[in-house]
Amino acid sequence: MTSRRSHGWKVTPNGTTTCQHPGSGASDCGTGITAGQPLSFQLLYSSGTASMDEQEAAIQSSEAQAGLKISLKPEPYNTLAASVGTCTASSHPAATCGWQLVDFGYQPNSLYPAGNGFFNTGGYNNFGGYSNPELNNLINATEYGSSTSAFFTYEDYAACQLPWLWIPLPANIWVYKSNLQGFTPLNPLTGGLNPEVWHYSS
């Protein structure tokens, strides 16, 4: 909360934080934010599972304690994907996008720089429109360079920038006996549950 106060926001725990000092300076709310504008967001998420409903409600409650107002909008996954997919990195944020935060409810194929465009400026999977020239350079270094250390530099920088927020998947928490072999999930989208390869070690 101290960080928001020092950047122009009037923090109201269990209420709605508002912009007190508009502007683009270091102690102001930020470019494009008007005086009195509330710190409120709509969070779209994939509906249909109780664990997701409970997770998003917990996030909403936790953020409310710090003065962030989050309204929840559950949607079937196909509807959610269509809503978010209409906004590309070049158009978001824009009034026509209709969303601000989204939780798909699954782990993307790979958040490593593998040419899939999650964090690249203009990347085809970069739905949030995140753009950072330094991260672009680091991604290029990992994709087209030959230095292993480039990956570590990329990871460290991306972890500080937080283009995405990592949330544990409630459906991907597995408990199994240590002598069950062949179980460890391989596919992050499906969990890699292939019982035909399970077996017990002696």
Could you tell me the pTM of the whole model? 0.68
- Give the pLDDT of the chain (202 residues) as one tens digit per residue: 455 567 899 999 999 999 999 999 989 998 889 999 999 988 999 888 888 898 899 999 999 998 999 999 999 988 887 777 666 545 555 555 667 788 887 655 555 666 667 788 877 777 777 789 999 999 999 888 888 899 899 889 988 888 877 776 665 567 778 888 877 655 544 455 667 778 888 7
Model confidence pLDDT, tens digit, residues 169-189: 665 567 778 888 877 655 544
pLDDT for residue 12: 92
Amino acid letter, 19: C
Cα 192 to chain centroid distance, Å, stands at 23
Q: How far is CA 20 from CA 12, 24, 39, in A?
A: 12, 13, 11
* Calpha distance 25→133 (Å, rounded): 21
pLDDT for residue 108: 57
Tokens representing residue 108 in the block? 């993307």
Model confidence pLDDT, tens digit, residues 67-81: 999 999 999 988 887
Burial, 173: exposed, middle or buried (Cβ in 10 Å; 0-12, 13-18, 19+)?
A: exposed
Of 169, 165, 173, 162, nearest to 55 by C-alpha is: 169
Q: Where are the domains of the chain?
A: 1-38, 40-172, 173-202
pLDDT for residue 56: 92
Residues in the chain, how many? 202
Q: Which helix (H) or strand (E) holds 62?
A: helix 50-65
Cα 200 to chain centroid distance, Å, stands at 37
Tell me: domain 40-172, CATH 3.20.20.70, correct? no
Residue whose entry in the numeric block shows the structure tokens 């597995």: 174
pLDDT for residue 106: 67
What letter would DSSP give residue 33? P
